[in-house]
Structure 1
Amino acid sequence: MRLLDGTSLRGRVTIAYGLLALGLSLVLAIVTWSIVSNYLTEQRRESAISQTSDNAAAFRFGLYGASSPCTPARLRVECGSAERRPGVTVMDVLNSLPTSDSAASMVYVDSEWYSLTGRPEDLPQDLLESALTGTTADQRMVVGGQRVVAVGVPLEQPGNALFQWHPLGELDDTLQTLRITLIAATIATLLVGLAVGRLASTLALRPLAELTKVADAVARGRLDARLDAEEDRDLGGLARSFNQTAANLERRVAADARFAGDVSHELRTPLMTMLNSMQLIQNHRDELPEAVREPVDLLGDDLDRFRRLVIDLLEISRDDGGDRGSREIVRIADLVRAAADATAGRPITTVEPRAEFLVMQADKRRLERVIANLVENAEDHAGGCKGVTVAPGGLGVVITVDDAGPGIAPEDRNRIFERFGRGETSGRGRGVGLGLAIVARHVMWHQGTIHVTAHPTGGARFIIELPAK
């Protein structure tokens, strides 16, 4: 069973059905082969003995006639050497025997061998002894590469016997046909078993497939996804437990989102006061003592990071709180060009001609935030944005953002899209770790995908695929 360790559950059920069908078909084939082959072989043997016995009777009549003084009751008791019919030779009688399927006919009369075809020395010794001593005998043998059944029938006179070979070619052909038929039936039964197993596994695992689909939706952020199998007698308990867990998780996430949103809103007023005060202080920076200027600059940087953190928290809490946004038809090239160039403060967008008129149903605010976050991330933490490209492909349109940084290590390429997840080896230590998480959430909201790779000439390349027409 270790061979099936890497096989899916559906594959295991299919293979189990196939093996069951194979086992049953093998048993049936073996039993059928044993019964039929034994029956046909025995029928052929009895037919050969009957034909040889009839030929022996015809030989006796042709050689001795009906007035032969020897009868079975007087054999070996009163009979001596019977008188042959005048003018009749053994070979004449042997040639006159009725046509049969025998391959050879030989007779041993009065201590002499007479043969039409075949050689007496090819006869098995035990068959020869049995027939000459008055007992009908048969034996299967191979003569000249041909399988035959040899039959020896004693004549009325003691020590005389008729021997014939009956070929088994037709029997062998019949058995070969039966063998091929049984093998083909076994293979067909195996295929039918695999097909039935596939169908049965599909029907049996359909609820599990639904569970997998719903669980995947929850993992992707659709916390309102639920199973519809609560009334199922077998899966009702599992469905109710899963739905209850998903509902609790949805309530918890919503509560956390409300908490983060409330905290962020409460922080906006003191934050604006601090930012305004810091702007006033920076406007009079030249009037400050030299020893105070550096702490003021550091405080200004931290306040700016604090401002970004509050804005990002508000954005995430809005998504977690169930904000459905508003969809409208947008021309992707125009939106990306405006958002990227405005964020970088210079033209950095390249649009391929075939992508110029691609459109999609999108939330403009979310999609603009995706582009702005990626460009801002490249400008502030990766040595600058090398360019943004819009091209057809993937799900419909592919947007790439290239930076001039040291790149992102492969082990960090998934972690950077988590909340407060920053690559340890990417050199991006000054970010708060929410910008890329927001990007991933907004791209997923549009049924798109995002991943990061290495740029051929160095740096990181963020690739977004969105459904477009």
Structure 2
Amino acid sequence: MSAWWARRALRTRIALGVGLVALVVLLALSRLGAGLLLDAVVEAGDGELRDRAVAARQAVVDGGPVPGGLRVTDVAGTPVDGRGPVPLAEPAVRALGSGEPVTVTGPGEPRRWVAVAVTLPDGSPRLVLASRDLVGAAALLGGAAGWFVPAIVVAAVVLAGAAWLAAGAALRPVGRLRAAAAATGEGERLPVPPSRDELAALAVEINALLERRDDAADRLRRFSDDAAHELRSPIASLRATADVAVAYPSPGTTDDDREAWRTVARDAERLSGLVTDLLALARADGGQRAPAGSVDLAAAVVEAVGRLDDEGPVVTTWTPVAVHAAATAAEVGLVLDNLLGNARKHARSVVHVSAVPAGAWVRLLVDDDGPGIPEAERSRVFDRFTRVEAAAGTTGSGLGLALVARLVEGRGGSVRATGSPDGGARLAVRWPAAP
């Protein structure tokens, strides 16, 4: 129940809470009102019974006949009117003798008894008892309840509806603030309402948070950009030196020396790719993008496959119709190179690439038959420097998929990892279709 309640919208919880509280309060008030109504009816009947008993007092003193419906007993409750036993227990008789009315329930209908004390000429005390059934009062109370309960339910529903409308009106500015926050880009701030209320304070705090976020993101971008630029030259020099040492070994160079230089060349190549990815990621984070054009995704897939070497798993393509993405050719090329490189590193024998239209979108699917991505890791493979357990035996910086996500999302698209029909991983990219 608590989990269901937590999933409801705030407006719904307010309305349901108000309706429930109103229902409980109205039921309690109706119970109190019904009790007061019953007490009033019973007390009115007690007065009538007492009047009847008082009217018969003189007849009892004179020893004359007692009117029907009345009984005469001694103070112990023993009848002295010759009409049979009185259905009263000893505690009830004592209460009547003290002047208290008594309600007696039994096999029949409940009855209300009232007693009036009488002293005979010889000094003997007597009780004149008058009674009536409470069926009429119960019927009256039942009829009132028949109206009370539906009226209470209707009132609770009306109050819940009013709370729904009031909560909607109160939360409408929050919804506008949320929409403004969702549309706020880098360097932009939320409009602060002129009123000095909680909403204005929230907008001010969110703007402060956005400022801190932009400052931190700017520092990170500057660091990545500067580091990439500073590292490019020495890495290129190291790579060139290693390539020359491998291609033109000096006299006396042993096989171990050449293998060491090959290792240096491979590591320098990896460092060069890492720096290139860092620089591209920094530019993507910084919003340094050219205006989106119309990119033929089918042709881009063919070009990306053509850039691959002949070693490794086979890559097949399926582009049944022409599809055009709203992006730039450079962005699409980077996305395809990273996705295909990632898939070939993990595939056992084959990689399938598909590009298809999907309404206002175009979809790019890259499937492999490798070990796949564990479901728990699929949401974080697009984080920077993230490598999942299934990829522990492969090389890579962990920046490729992060760059793919930034490039695609920067154009309003999305990318996600799922399971592939081939048993491995599927990386699904969705771009806006070009007009």
Give TM-score scaled by structure 2 length: 0.71
Alpha-carbon distance between aligned partners in 2 of 1:285 and 1:318, rounded to the nearest angstrom: 39
Give percent identity, aligned residues only: 26
| Matched letter for residue 250 of structure 1 | D
Alignment-derived partner of residue 143 in structure 2: 177
Alignment-derived partner of residue 223 in structure 1: 186
Alignment-derived partner of residue 168 in structure 1: 134
Give CA deviations for 1:152-185 in whole Å, capped at 9, x if unaligned: 8999x99999987644333212212323444444
| Shift, 1:401, TM fit | 1.9
Q: 1:324 to 1:32 in 2, by over 3 A?
A: farther
| Shift, 1:374, TM fit | 0.8
User: 2:367–2:422: 8 Å Cα contact kept in structure 1?
Assistant: no
| Shift, 1:432, TM fit | 1.9
User: 1:44–1:171: 8 Å Cα contact kept in structure 2?
Assistant: no
User: 2:326–2:431: 8 Å Cα contact kept in structure 1?
Assistant: no
| Residue 272 (structure 2) pairs with residue 307 (structure 1) | yes
Count how many residue pairs are aligned between Structure 1 and Structure 2.
417
User: 1:230–1:240: 8 Å Cα contact kept in structure 2?
Assistant: no
| Shift, 1:416, TM fit | 3.1
Alpha-carbon distance between aligned partners in 1 of 2:268 and 2:81, rounded to the nearest angstrom: 129
User: 1:348–1:386: 8 Å Cα contact kept in structure 2?
Assistant: yes
User: 2:324–2:362: 8 Å Cα contact kept in structure 1?
Assistant: no
Alignment-derived partner of residue 436 in structure 1: 401
| Shift, 1:431, TM fit | 1.0
Alpha-carbon distance between aligned partners in 2 of 1:53 and 1:379, rounded to the nearest angstrom: 107
| Shift, 1:308, TM fit | 1.7
| Shift, 1:326, TM fit | 2.0
| Shift, 1:309, TM fit | 2.2
User: 1:127–1:138: 8 Å Cα contact kept in structure 2?
Assistant: no
| Gapped regions of structure 1 (runs ≥ 5) | 58-70, 83-89, 95-103, 115-119
| Matched letter for residue 211 of structure 2 | A
User: 2:23–2:156: 8 Å Cα contact kept in structure 1?
Assistant: yes
Quick one: which of 331, 344, 358 aligns to 1:366? Answer: 331
User: 2:236–2:268: 8 Å Cα contact kept in structure 1?
Assistant: no
| Shift, 1:319, TM fit | 1.6
Alpha-carbon distance between aligned partners in 2 of 1:184 and 1:8, rounded to the nearest angstrom: 27
Alignment-derived partner of residue 348 in structure 1: 316
SS in 2 for 1:174: helix
Give CA deviations for 1:78-98 in whole Å, capped at 9, x if unaligned: x5769xxxxxxx9xxx9xxxx
Give TM-score scaled by structure 1 length: 0.66
| Matched letter for residue 365 of structure 1 | A
Alpha-carbon distance between aligned partners in 2 of 1:416 and 1:238, rounded to the nearest angstrom: 33
Alpha-carbon distance between aligned partners in 1 of 2:189 and 2:393, rounded to the nearest angstrom: 39
Alignment-derived partner of residue 240 in structure 1: 204
Give CA deviations for 1:264-301 in whole Å, capped at 9, x if unaligned: 45655666666666666666579986444323322332
Alpha-carbon distance between aligned partners in 2 of 1:305 and 1:313, rounded to the nearest angstrom: 12
| Matched letter for residue 440 of structure 1 | A
| Shift, 1:302, TM fit | 2.4
Alignment-derived partner of residue 147 in structure 1: 110
5 Å-filtered alignment, 1:247-396, equals 247-265=211-229, 290-330=255-295, 332=297, 334=298, 337-338=301-302, 340-344=304-308, 348-351=316-319, 356=321, 361-380=326-345, 382-383=347-348, 385-390=350-355
Alignment-derived partner of residue 77 in structure 2: none
SS in 1 for 2:203: helix
| Shift, 1:387, TM fit | 1.2
Query: What root-mean-square deviation, in Å, do the aligned CA atoms of Structure 1 and Structure 2 show?
Result: 5.1
| Matched letter for residue 145 of structure 1 | G
| Shift, 1:392, TM fit | 6.6
User: 1:105–1:162: 8 Å Cα contact kept in structure 2?
Assistant: no
Q: 1:38 to 1:358 in 2, by over 3 A?
A: farther
Alpha-carbon distance between aligned partners in 2 of 1:277 and 1:341, rounded to the nearest angstrom: 30
User: 2:242–2:262: 8 Å Cα contact kept in structure 1?
Assistant: no
Alignment-derived partner of residue 75 in structure 2: none
SS in 1 for 2:365: strand
SS in 2 for 1:146: coil
Q: 1:3 to 1:126 in 2, by over 3 A?
A: farther
Alignment-derived partner of residue 371 in structure 2: 406
Alpha-carbon distance between aligned partners in 2 of 1:53 and 1:269, rounded to the nearest angstrom: 119
Stretch deviating more after TM superposition (382-391 or 415-424)? 382-391
SS in 2 for 1:372: helix
Alignment-derived partner of residue 42 in structure 1: 43
Give CA deviations for 1:119-171 in whole Å, capped at 9, x if unaligned: x54643789989xx9x999754456533344678999x999999876443332
| Shift, 1:435, TM fit | 0.9
Alpha-carbon distance between aligned partners in 2 of 1:121 and 1:44, rounded to the nearest angstrom: 24
User: 2:243–2:262: 8 Å Cα contact kept in structure 1?
Assistant: no
| Gapped regions of structure 2 (runs ≥ 5) | 73-79
Give CA deviations for 1:288-323 in whole Å, capped at 9, x if unaligned: 864443233223322322332232123112222222
Q: 1:321 to 1:81 in 2, by over 3 A?
A: closer
Alpha-carbon distance between aligned partners in 1 of 2:141 and 2:64, rounded to the nearest angstrom: 46
User: 1:417–1:440: 8 Å Cα contact kept in structure 2?
Assistant: yes
| Shift, 1:373, TM fit | 0.8
User: 1:391–1:398: 8 Å Cα contact kept in structure 2?
Assistant: yes
